[in-house]
């Protein structure tokens, strides 16, 4: 019993109570220096009217009011929202499908698995340039096909809406392999005998998938969704490079404010605080969802 131990050796215990804190102190100090301090600093900046050249005055939430009244910011927010929801949803569905396929035993499976990962291995900026060329008018392949199929009536790269759609397509192409990889790892932890037993009991393939495989995959799917949602939410290169600065995501909006402009620095700071808080809420949501599942199990 610990209580008796406490009575017998009070001094040693007192030491060991301080010890954990001492041991953890360096880690806390590092986290405070590299994470908490910059966050506090940015929040602070977002409450001042300073630009890159002067410190400015305390203006309270005025920067946030300017921010939410700025149509460019609202557009960036809706672009990012649409992009995140659409790309993550499709990537999860396709990711599960791809994982199921490459989990089956067939000849050349190793090769197929490797090839599937190729799009993911491309640096985003490079694939963004590649697709920009394919979407360009009049020489782009994808643009030409879309015109022939009567899918579009105007240049893709000339329309904000079409560019968001294009960004979703590129992101799906690029990151589905990553989702598939995470889900494949989950698939491989599902014991074969469970599936065999279900088959013996007369469960069909569809039943086995929805009753056994999918429920057991939920933790993997949640983790994949967490990674992808946060990644998609802070999308930068794809919009900046492929959209050629013509279509804003939240991250490009922040960059334009704090780096390109000289006067919109405070609004940019406010926007970056907004991105931080909302991304934090998204992360929290997934962490709680994951925790809830684990507790149930």
Partner 1 sequence: MEALIDRSARRRPGRTRRFVAAVGIAAMAATAALTGCSPSSESASASKTIKVLAPPDTSGTMQKLIDQYNKDHSGGTQIEWQTSQTDMSAYFDQLRTQFLANSVDADVVIGDVTWAAQLADSGWVEDLSDRFPKAEQDKFLKGGMTADSWKGKVYGVPWFNATAYLFYRKDLLAKHGFTAPPATWDELETQAKAVLASGDVTAGYLMQGAKYEGLVCNAAEFVWNAGGDILDPADSTKAVVNSLDATAGLAEMRKLVDSGIAPAASTTFKEQENYTQFFQGDALFMRNWSDFYRLVKDPSVSKLTADQVGVASLPVTKAGTKSSSTLGGWNLFMNASGKNKDAAWDVIQYFTSEQAQKIRAVDGGYLPTRASLYDDADVNKANPLTVIGKDAAFNARSRPVTPYYSDASLAMQDSFYKIISGAQPAAQGASELQTSLNKVVQAK
Q: Is 256 in the site for partner 1 (CB under 8 A)?
A: yes
The DSSP element (H or E) to which 115 belongs, if any, is helix 109-116
Q: Is 49 in the site for partner 1 (CB under 8 A)?
A: no
Q: Is 78 in the site for partner 1 (CB under 8 A)?
A: no
Q: Is 65 in the site for partner 1 (CB under 8 A)?
A: no
- 67/182 with CB nearer partner 1: 67
Q: Which stretch binds partner 1 (CB under 8 A): 4-12, 131-139, 200-208, 227-235?
A: 131-139
Identify the CA nearest to 87 among candidates 164, 188, 171: 171
The alpha-carbon radius of gyration of the chain (Å, integer) is: 25
Query: For residues 165 and 277, what is the distance between their CA atoms, to the nearest angstrom?
Result: 26
How near is the Cβ of 249 to partner 1 at its closest, in Å?
15
Q: Is 211 in the site for partner 1 (CB under 8 A)?
A: no
- Which position among 2, 3, 150, 262 is part of the footprint of partner 1 (CB under 8 A)? 262
186-212 CB burial, b ≥16 within 10 A, e <16 = bbeebeeeebeebeeeebeeeebeeeb
Q: Is 260 in the site for partner 1 (CB under 8 A)?
A: yes
Distances 103 to 84, 108, 114, 182, 188 between C-alpha atoms, Å: 27, 12, 13, 12, 8
Q: Is 42 in the site for partner 1 (CB under 8 A)?
A: no
Q: Is 151 in the site for partner 1 (CB under 8 A)?
A: no
Task: Provide long-range contacts, Cβ within 8 A and 24+ apart, for 221-225.
Answer: 221/92, 221/96, 221/183, 221/186, 222/286, 222/289, 222/290, 222/293, 223/182, 223/290, 224/92, 224/95, 224/178, 224/179, 224/182, 224/183, 225/88, 225/92, 225/286
Q: Is 248 in the site for partner 1 (CB under 8 A)?
A: no
Binding footprint of partner 1, residue count (CB under 8 A): 20
How near is the Cβ of 263 to partner 1 at its closest, in Å?
5
- 47/258 with CB nearer partner 1: 258
Q: Is 126 in the site for partner 1 (CB under 8 A)?
A: no
- Which position among 16, 55, 78, 244 is part of the footprint of partner 1 (CB under 8 A)? 244
Q: Is 157 in the site for partner 1 (CB under 8 A)?
A: yes
How near is the Cβ of 149 to partner 1 at its closest, in Å?
18
Query: For residues 91 and 89, what is the distance between their CA atoms, to the nearest angstrom?
Result: 6
DSSP-derived secondary structure for 147-213: HHTTS-SS-GGG-HHHHHHHHHHHHHHHHHHHHHHHHHHHHTTS-HHHHHHHHHTT--HHHHIIIII
Q: Is 70 in the site for partner 1 (CB under 8 A)?
A: no
DSSP state of 57: -
- Which position among 32, 52, 112, 151 is part of the footprint of partner 1 (CB under 8 A)? 52
- Which position among 9, 14, 109, 245 is part of the footprint of partner 1 (CB under 8 A)? 245
- Which position among 259, 284, 288, 292 is part of the footprint of partner 1 (CB under 8 A)? 259
Q: Is 154 in the site for partner 1 (CB under 8 A)?
A: yes
| Interaction site with partner 1 (CB under 8 A) | 52-53, 72, 136-138, 154-155, 157-158, 244-246, 256, 259-264
């Amino acid at each position: 019993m610990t209580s008796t131990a406490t009575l017998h050796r009070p001094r040693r215990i007192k030491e060991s109570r301080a010890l954990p804190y001492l041991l953890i102190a360096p880690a806390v100090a590092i986290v405070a220096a590299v994470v908490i301090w910059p966050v506090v600093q940015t929040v602070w900046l977002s409450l001042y009217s300073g630009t890159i050249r002067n410190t400015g005055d305390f203006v309270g939430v005025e920067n946030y009011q300017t921010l939410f009244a700025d149509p460019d910011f609202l557009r960036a927010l809706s672009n990012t929202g649409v992009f995140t929801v659409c790309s993550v949803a499709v990537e999860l569905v396709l990711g599960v499908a791809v994982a199921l396929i490459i989990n089956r035993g067939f000849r050349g499976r190793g090769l197929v698995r490797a090839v599937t990962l190729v799009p993911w291995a491309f640096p985003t900026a490079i694939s963004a340039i590649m697709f920009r060329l394919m979407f360009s008018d009049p020489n782009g392949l994808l643009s030409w096909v879309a015109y022939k199929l009567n899918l579009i009536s105007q240049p893709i790269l000339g329309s904000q809406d079409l560019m968001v759609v294009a960004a979703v397509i590129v992101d799906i192409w690029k990151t589905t392999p990553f989702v598939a990889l995470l889900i494949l790892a989950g698939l491989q932890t599902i014991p074969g005998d469970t599936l065999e037993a279900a088959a013996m009991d007369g469960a069909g393939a569809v039943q086995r998938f929805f009753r056994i495989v999918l429920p057991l995959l939920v933790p993997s799917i949640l983790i994949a969704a967490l990674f992808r949602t946060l990644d998609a939410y802070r999308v930068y290169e794809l919009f900046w490079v492929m959209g050629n600065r013509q279509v804003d995501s939240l991250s490009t909006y922040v960059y334009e404010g704090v780096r390109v402009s000289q006067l919109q620095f405070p609004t940019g700071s406010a926007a970056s605080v907004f991105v931080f808080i909302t991304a934090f809420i998204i992360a929290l949501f997934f962490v709680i969802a994951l925790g809830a599942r684990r507790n149930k199990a």
